[in-house]
A and B are shown apart, each in its own frame.
Chain A
Amino acid sequence: MAVNRNFRTCPSTGLVYHEPAEKLIRWNAVAGVVSLLVGGVLALLVTLTRWPAVKLLPPDWFYLALTAHGLDMLVFWIIFFEIAVLYFAASTLLKCRLATPKVAWAAFWLMIVGAVMNNIAVFKGDSSVMFTSYVPMGAHPLFYLGLILFAVGALVAVFVFFGTLVIGKAEKTYNGSIPLVTFGAVTAAIIATFTIAAGAIILIPTFLWSVGLVSHIDSLMYRTVWWGFGHSSQQINVAAHVSVWYAIAAIVFGAKPMSEKVSRTAFVLYILFLQLASAHHLLADPGLTSNWKIFNTSYAMYLAVLASMVHGLTVPGAIEVAQREKGFNKGFFEWLRKAPWGNPCFSGMFISLLGFGFLGGISGVMMGTEQLNLIIHNTIYVPGHFHATVVVGTTLAFMALTYFLIPTLFRRELMFPGMAKWQPYVYGIGMSAFSLFMMGAGTLGVPRRHWDMAFSGAILPHEFPGTAYLMMGLTAVSGIAAVIGGGMYLAITVGSVFFGKKIQTPGFEHVPVKKGMAPAPAPVAVAPAGHGSIGLGGFVAPGTFVLAMVFLTSFVLYYFVNWKYLSTVWPLK
């Protein structure tokens, strides 16, 4: 079988694209953006329904929209885009041909069929079982079958990624260790493998239950194994978006990691411990012992949290060092003040980093503590937390990367560049406020997933304080701002990809490897000898050190404030 060895080199970035890999990256990214569009429209409907003053949808439509929103955003948008990132990190960054492109296309179409099938099942109206689809609540068989097909396709794509690494090593397209960004993608692929296997273990019997071939699925067993899929799928995102942070720091600033060893070790901590955080969804469940809960959350998970803090320190630290070396060396923050805040690639990445750390990270550790979890379990605090991690953290990082990919991958000029400058701020600040207000309402006890927080007509009604209603109103207003930011992103990306001015240069032609356009193996990088005279008081990145101290102070204060709060809601006498 003939192997396609056609490559092209991007004249502006120097990136090398293998022809089949390039098409697959584009198609996966486009499929992701289409899922984002559907999920975004549903997000607006859900937001306007949870706004007590508006209540847009009736209950049955609300639960339908919430189910489809969760799946289109948390599964289809994210995983399609992640597969694009995996192919980019393996084929383009290793300057290597993609393994088995035909199999990769089969995986792509399997994912498409699965995503469409799942959406059809939900929009038919008989599968409004939420993203979690807890048994004994049953959905249409197509709901489970769609998810299974999507997961199988994603697993095949992950193995195409691993195959590409093997080819790169065998054909010596790189020397020494793989680049850090590719190593982050390896981390994401490993977590994806566990995630999809856990999904298969529980969704296949549940599908058989839905068609009547299995009589009973134990609900606690379902929840335990399902969260191995449901939460770990969001850990793929963490590894992927951290890789994107490193990539953007290198692309925009030419920044090199402060310590490759430390950053790689942090990724290894993710590989070993990040998936165990799935247990924090089960902290209020009877049947599982505190030994299992506390080991998996308050011990093992902290090692993964440590890794996130390492990345949160080394990415801005690398940017600071790069900026100081360019001459922005005054005081603590000249490097940050004079960063290219008008470049959406940078601003999106930096808001993603801050939102993920300060909002998502701190709230995640609080929720992962067995005792504190009681305060906010099943409240709207939980979606507040994961909108900070998955939306501000992952989605915004992916959006930021898109602004780099449109000219180099799609060969189109960016449309609406003025709007692109503002988009990360509208989306990032809107979504950060959305998360924060949801967490505020959740702290006051407002339930998640509920159509009517007032429990109108219920036998045992509950009076929430006026502040809770105010928080829900502010949640909706900031949610609308975030939807506008999402709409701006879609207008820019869809407009650029389909109607943007084509970038035409001879260098964009695909040329067979034997004609000399193939990438030569990169020489081994010379180890940096030091950072010269940059920095303050012996610190090469003092501004980042100050930011880290602010983060740690916030972390400690918030953590202990919640213990104090727990003592007031649950008095022990």
Chain B
Amino acid sequence: MSQVPASPGPDDDVSDEPIPMMQQLIDNPFLLLFLGVAMPTVLYIVWGVMEIVGIPIAK
């Protein structure tokens, strides 16, 4: 694909304006991947497992 000749590429459309932080976040799939795995892992699985582990065992 890199051999594609003489077409307008992103370098031709460079803007001086900084990219907003939210857009940078949305344009980074791996950062979103991290957040999308970390949030439910902490709030659902880790918190839930800690509650179950904390249940006293019947004697």
Contact = CB atoms under 8 A, between A and B. Distances in A.
Given A162-B33, A273-B39, A172 B26 contact: no
Interface stretch (A135-143, A189-197, A250-258, A316-324): A189-197
Q: Which of B3, B23, B26 has the most CB of A within 10 A?
A: B26
A172 to B, nearest CB: 5
Contact of A190 (B10, B23, B37, B45): B37
Given A172-B2, A268-B32, A296-B44, A520 B49 contact: no
Contacts of B16: none
Nearest to A172: B9
A175 B48 contact: no
B37 A193 contact: yes
Contacts of A220: 52, 55
A520 B51 contact: no
Interface residues of B, number: 33
A198 B41 CA distance: 9
Is the contact region of chain A dominated by helix, strand, or loop, or is it mixed? helix
Contacts of B47: 292
B2 A171 contact: yes
Contacts, number: 120
Q: Which of B1, B2, B33 has the most CB of A within 10 A?
A: B1
A183 B29 CA distance: 9
Interface string A163-195: 001010001110111100001001101110110
A177 B45 contact: no
Contacts of B43: 276, 295-296, 300
A523 B44 CA distance: 42
A232 interface: yes
B4 interface: yes
B4 A521 contact: yes
B33 A193 contact: yes
A193 B36 contact: yes
A228 B45 contact: yes
Contact of A520 (B7, B23, B37, B55): B7
Contact of B26 (A183, A272, A296): A183
A221 B37 contact: no
A224 B45 contact: yes
A224 B8 contact: no
Nearest to B11: A172
A198 B9 contact: no
5 contacts: A162-B29, A220-B55, A228-B44, A268-B32, A275-B36
Interface of B: 1-4, 7-10, 13, 22-23, 25-27, 29-30, 32-33, 35-37, 39-41, 43-45, 47-49, 51-52, 55
